[in-house]
Amino acid sequence: MAQVKLEQVSKIYPGNVLAVAPTDLLIRKGELTVLVGPSGCGKSTTLRMIAGLEEPTSGQISIGDRVVNDVEPRDRDIAMVFQSYALYPHMSVADNLAFGLRMRKHSPDEIKKRVADAARVLDIEELLQRKPGALSGGQRQRVALGRAIVRDPAVFLFDEPLSNLDAKMRVQMRTEIARLHHRLNATMIYVTHDQTEAMTLGQRIVVMKDGHVQQVAPPLELYEWPANRFVGGFIGSPAMNFLSGQLVQNDGLVLVCDDGETVWPLPSAFTPPESLLARDLVLGIRPEHLIIGGDGPSVSAELSVLESLGNETLAYFQVAGQPITTRSPGQMNAAIDDRLSISISADHIHLFATGAEGVNLQIEG
Residues 258-309: tens digit of each pLDDT = 988 889 999 988 888 888 998 999 999 999 999 998 777 889 999 999 999 8
Say if residue 323 is exposed, middle or buried (CB neighbours under 10 Å; 0-12, 13-18, 19+). middle
pLDDT tens for each residue of 157-186 = 999 888 877 888 888 888 888 888 888 888
Amino acid identity for residue 356 in this structure: A
**C-alpha to C-alpha distance for 192 and 205, rounded to whole angstroms:** 11
**C-alpha to C-alpha distance for 29 and 97, rounded to whole angstroms:** 25
Q: Which residues pair with 325 in a beta bridge?
A: 316
Average pLDDT, the chain: 90
Give me the domain span that covers residue 301: 239-364
Say if residue 228 is exposed, middle or buried (CB neighbours under 10 Å; 0-12, 13-18, 19+). buried
Domain stops at, among 196, 214, 233: 233
Closest residue by Cα to residue 161 from 84, 78, 48: 84
> In this structure, how many other beta carbons lie within 10 angstroms of the beta carbon of residue 102?
11
Q: Please report the pLDDT score of residue 364 as a whole number.
A: 57
Regarding whether 287 and 187 lie in a shared domain, the answer is no
Regarding whether 334 and 283 lie in a shared domain, the answer is yes
**C-alpha to C-alpha distance for 358 and 220, rounded to whole angstroms:** 20
C-alpha angle 92/97/101, rounded to 5°?
125
* pLDDT over threshold 90, residue 142: no
**C-alpha to C-alpha distance for 133 and 184, rounded to whole angstroms:** 29
60-86 CB burial, b ≥16 within 10 A, e <16 = ebbbbeeebeeeeeeebbbbbbebebe
Q: What is the CATH number of the domain that holds 178?
A: 3.40.50.300
Length of the chain: 365
Regarding whether 269 and 168 lie in a shared domain, the answer is no
Regarding whether 304 and 248 lie in a shared domain, the answer is yes
Left, alpha or beta for 96 (phi > 0: left; psi -120 to 50: alpha)? alpha
Domain stops at, among 233, 248, 273: 233
Regarding whether 259 and 133 lie in a shared domain, the answer is no
Q: Please report the pLDDT score of residue 305 as a whole number.
A: 94
Domain stops at, among 201, 233, 265: 233
| pLDDT band (50, 70, 90) for residue 30 | very high
Domain count, the chain: 2
Regarding whether 154 and 13 lie in a shared domain, the answer is yes
Regarding whether 197 and 62 lie in a shared domain, the answer is yes
- Strand 58-63, strand 32-36: pairing: unpaired
pLDDT tens for each residue of 332-345 = 888 899 999 999 98
Regarding whether 275 and 143 lie in a shared domain, the answer is no
Regarding whether 311 and 191 lie in a shared domain, the answer is no
**Per mean pLDDT, which range of 2-16, 51-65, 115-129 is the poorest?**
115-129
Q: What is the CATH number of the domain that holds 284?
A: 2.40.50.140
Regarding whether 281 and 198 lie in a shared domain, the answer is no
Regarding whether 196 and 261 lie in a shared domain, the answer is no
Amino acid identity for residue 166 in this structure: D
Regarding whether 266 and 206 lie in a shared domain, the answer is no
* pLDDT over threshold 50, residue 365: no
Q: Please report the pLDDT score of residue 172 as a whole number.
A: 84
